Structure 1
């Protein structure tokens, strides 16, 4: 359970042998239900049966239907949570503070790196890039010095 499937072109959704089948005029796509965490249907013409919706719910797949403005209109959730997602959540909660701080440091490091790449692609002044790079080098576990906010302020300025 790791994929979010976005359906904007499919005309019909079915379940066959524990696979989600997405049919449209030109082709069929198939995705194992075990791989899907969420399904977003952003096409008002897509047909889906109650059996398919029940199978999605049975497999713990969060299904979101969008309206004509491409905004979520409803969310179909399983009444029985899937054991995999709850066990992953329990494992994440039980991590030590040090591990959580290191993971948070890695997330912020990636965010700052992405900000630097975006600015480089847009030929932004080298002074701003060097400032972000310097701040990235001083990033601490848990971001106790709040480098994320400082870099965001520079990035969005």
Structure 2
């Protein structure tokens, strides 16, 4: 069963007691959520009180904690740093990756991202044949930059008013991608990867280059969620809560339907196998399917 993403949107006092996150709000409203059920905690309001001891216990439980700024968009991320012998080993293998392997891994990621974008357009009954052509034309390292060309066409086709950067889709897309980035960052750190060292992204100013590589095939899942639920316009508490449910959305990996949360775990597990074996084809990436949510049964 997928662990939960918890959004704190009202003034609250948070603590950790008896293995649970305790939430106290005005009017003596209280709630307790077992730590083992939480994957990411999002603090959406500045009116949250939490001690460093509680944050430490959240990290020990493997929970990523994300903060939001005055614009209500995520601006900070606290990730668990579990000490384990596998961490040193995987970092050594990561740093020793050859350039040809990095280029082949990036090729696989870009192909799947463009195919997922084409699937989103298909599900929205928008013509997508040119995107399929772009996907088949991606070369090692995407040296002809099919990703950028495909993205430009994709958003022009998908967004009915405004554009990716300005208009009613902009804020929901930014928020959804940030939540998704937090989940992937949490899982990458838990697996021992050096998240500042990317496969394709390599900015010295970016502490999450690897995360920004691995997020790419998942972005169209956010796009589909926004289209299906019509989560456009203002970032209301309801809109943000639905965007935070992205980890429960179903995708397909190895012809099996899994939650986005599980797909992220599979991506990280298979990345290790691909790196150890020097074989980019072993990387397991998500495929977009018609919108549905994982069962909690």
For Structure 1 versus Structure 2, the TM-score category normalised by the shorter chain is 0.5 to 0.7
Where does residue 53 of structure 1 map in the other structure?
55
Where does residue 92 of structure 1 map in the other structure?
94
Where does residue 117 of structure 2 map in the other structure?
115
Distance 1:91 1:42 in 2: 37
Where does residue 32 of structure 2 map in the other structure?
28
Richer in helix (by share): 2
Q: Summarize deviations over 1:13-36 as a string: whole Å, max 9, x none.
A: 33346x452547585322349x85
- Which has the larger displacement, 134-143 or 42-51? 42-51
- The answer for unaligned runs of 5 or more in structure 1 is none
Cα distance change on mapping 1:98 and 1:83 into 2, 3 Å: farther
Where does residue 153 of structure 1 map in the other structure?
152
TM-score (norm 2): 0.39
Decide whether the 8 Å contact of 1:7 with 1:43 is kept in 2.
no
TM-superposed deviation, 1:116 = 0.7
Decide whether the 8 Å contact of 1:108 with 1:143 is kept in 2.
yes
- Which has the larger displacement, 66-75 or 87-96? 66-75
Q: Summarize deviations over 1:96-133 as a string: whole Å, max 9, x none.
A: 22321222112112210221122112222x3xx11111
User: Which structure has the larger Rg over C-alpha atoms?
Assistant: 1
Richer in strand (by share): 1
Decide whether the 8 Å contact of 2:114 with 2:150 is kept in 1.
yes
SS in 1 for 2:42: strand
What number of residue pairs does the alignment pair up? Answer: 147
Where does residue 135 of structure 2 map in the other structure?
136
| Greater relative contact order (CA < 8 Å, ≥ 6 in sequence) | 2
